[in-house]
Structure 1
Amino acid sequence: MADTIFGSGTGPWVCPNDRQLALRAKLQTGWSVHTFQTEKQRKMQALSPQELEVILEVIRKAEKLDVVEQQRIGRLVERLENMRKNAMGNGLSQCLLCSELLGLLGSTSVFCQDCKKKVCTKCGIETFGAQKRPLWLCKICSEQREVWKRSGAWFYKGLPKYITPLKSSSRAGEVPSQPWQSEAAVLEAGTALGTLDFSLLYDQENNALHCTINKAKGLKPMDHNGLADPYVKLHLLPGASKANKLRTKTLRNTLNPTWNETLTYYGITDEDMIRKTLRISVCDEDKFRHNEFIGETRIPLKKLKPNQTKNFSICLEKQLPVSGRASSPRLGAFPPQIDKTEDKSLEERGRILISLKYSSQKQGLLVGIIRCAHLAAMDANGYSDPYVKTYLKPDEDKKSKHKTAVKKKTLNPEFNEEFCYEIKHGDLAKKTLEVTVWDYDIGKSNDFIGGVVLGINAKGERLKHWFDCLKNKDKKIERWHTLTNELPGAVLSD
């Protein structure tokens, strides 16, 4: 007689045959091995605490892996949502993304295959369809396809569960009950952005601020491959000019970049060290989209001591919230105390480093135009094409004009040119040196950027520089001077 199996899959039991039943009756052990067990047998089947801990550890690891995956998908979704929020056009007469005018009087437009909106060629991506036919997608739809591919949504026919950065709620609106989900969100807001190692040195004698960017660690992944293309950007605050911005080279496909690169601000005064702040931003370079912000830190320059290198290792912070749209995308991100002085910085025309030396051998005044710093931008591209002119006045014969070469598209030009004015040392006290900086334009008048006048009628550092030159023959004396927006008399653009 064959055994018969009864019960569900969770608790099956076997009905023994007659021979087994007879034997069990004699032994008085019951008719089923599953229903009659001694207390000792039941205790022997219980798991030990070590075994339970191993099982719980496996479960915890699996849950943490799920959270990491949900956070990865959440970052993809957040990036896509940010692109949608930043879309500025109507997709008809304007580019959907950048709002650039389209049509005969504007840029060339292309038609997005997915959203059926118009974009300019800069905001569109050309790809191929299923039948290898070329088609255009806007960057938003291209990003949406990428999200579906990398999140597995194409397989699940919808986005799987995800956790957006700084939020513990999931796509379905559920509040996670696990405490480690909120801890992960806190981690995302802090050290998950990475750390930056750098050093600062204020060279008081040469009026230079040297910023050495060493390396970064554990940067936030920004690209689809889980890596980033980071670079570091420096910005002196307050100041809205591109002349205040410096940047390192870009390192590809890394979250732990090592730059070992020194960036230098020239023409920095003691006053700047008291009132200015250095903003250091780490960004991800994107060839096809706008560069993305990773994290930043800000160092008040008054913390530095002259001629002493100070090393920093700082956790990057999130960008301060931007209030409203401004002409500059970062204008609203500055603290209130910086905004109050912004107007004063916008009036600055820049600075120039001039050397003076009376040469006994050449019987003349040697005027060196070394470099300029933080010049005002005069062109539409945010830069200038600067050059410098010098006059030694009074100049009855109008032969004292000298001019440097033009430096293209820069606000921090380096000239290193020297001019000689043949003049007796005793006559210098009656002369005035006019130095003007201009922006070179083709087809129209050159724009005046700023100027400075050195002579016995000058004041402050300008007078001191001229007096030191007269007093110290055959000694080169270099000084930085602030350019003013007042055009010296009788100086015209050429």
Structure 2
Amino acid sequence: MSVYSGDFGNLEVKGSVQFAIDYMESLKELHVFVAQCKDLAAADVKKQRSDPYVKTYLLPDKGKMGKKKTFVVKKTLNPVYNEILRYKIERQFLKTQKLNLSVWHRDTFKRNSFLGEVELDLETWDWDSKQSKQLKWYPLKRKTAPVALETENRGEMKLALQYVPEPSPGKKLPTTGEVHIWVKECFDLPLLRGSHLNSFVKCTILPDTSRKSRQKTRAVGKTTNPIFNHTMVYDGFRPEDLMEACVELTVWDHYKLTNQFLGGLRIGFGTGNTYYKFNSLEPNSLGDEKTKV
């Protein structure tokens, strides 16, 4: 599964990469030792050379916190790195991770070009085997369809939605009303930073993506089952507006100066464009309290 942006279609995928992985118990770190690549595709066909580097992710984290990369080796199809990429993570959480290692050509003026990738499922990896810690050559593969993150369940959200008409003196039917969105809690959120989590929920009513449409809860730390009990109120909605509106709720992990996307969902009759793919965080029904917008 490829999770990054770039140019995937222009270059043939060929060659292989040599690397090894090991878990350092004393440091609580996963080490990815990237040794070298050979027989890579040439981004510069005329001169038969590329400027390759290696990038890794610990999936399902596809953000900046989960990305590591080597230095760029210029003008070669057989780069040597001998570099260790480190991830601070508890060993038990590696069972839920996949290591995605990809090779790229660095282009200063255009989008970087994809040269191939390797993916290892760490759920069944034998960390105590000496053979598992040895350097191995892996053939580079083409980009696979990015479907896993889109269909994977990454937790549940318990919420309620309600439309409250505003009374209009002298008129039989109200002309506008308020949309109330009560976010009570989430369950079983994924851990992307070992045992650390500091989650909050953002809300937008599409197709309006302006700043006034964005609201959020407070951050709740140290739990994968945060309780928010937060109500967001949006006013000025006509009954006919509800047929076009779509509530977009996303869950984030706040860490230092960055926010890492955990999952999200959409509820409503309307549609809208966004930068994220959903179906990864399931709503938990509140029975009679849940009213569809």
Q: Name whichever structure is richer in helix by fraction.
A: 1
Q: Give the greater-gyration-radius structure (CA).
A: 1
TM-score w.r.t. the length of structure 1 is 0.31
The structure whose RCO (Cα within 8 Å, separation 6+) is larger is 2
